[in-house]
Amino acid sequence: MYKSYGTGRRKTSSARVYLNNGTGEIKINSKLLNDFVKSETLKSNILAPLVVTKMEKKVDLVINVTGGGPGGQVGAIIHGLTRALIKYQNDLLPILRREGYVTRDDRKVERKKVGLRKARKATQFSKR
């Protein structure tokens, strides 16, 4: 049914990106791109891999994303879209790697430790 598929992850978000030949329609969780993402910066970030590879009007995207907040979800979408584009057309790999979209950003929130206020923040030391 779909030409290509890619899974992307960022922080606690996970995105499944289905790529197919088309006219440039993007649906995220059954909503159009403009309805799902309000920030112009995040929209341009999602479209960046398509713009770099000149595929924005050639493919349709169906995306399912869960977990995390808006920033993490957009990062997961970008990662999944990049993987789907590479499967769709393998010669796009050098272009996407040069722009830094291929590498997964594996940073996650560090867990809170017992006896501390946050992951590393402790109470103020008092000598007396």
Residue 13 tokens read as 């978000």
Structure tokens at 113: 């430790």
Topology annotation, domain 4-99? Ribosomal Protein S5; domain 2 (3.30.230)
Give 16's contacts (C-beta < 8 A, 6+ positions apart). 5, 6, 7, 63, 64, 65, 80
Q: For residue 84, what are the contacts with CB-CB under 8 A and spacing of at least 6? A: 4, 5, 6, 17, 18, 19, 61
In the DSSP assignment, the letter for residue 109 is P
Query: Tell me: the pLDDT tens digits for 2-15?
Result: 799 999 999 999 99
The β-bridge partners of 95 are none
pTM of the model: 0.90
* Each residue's pLDDT tens digit, 65-94: 999 999 999 999 999 999 999 999 999 999
**What is the per-residue pLDDT for 2?**
75
Beta strands in 2-52 (DSSP E): 4-10, 13-21, 26-28, 31-32
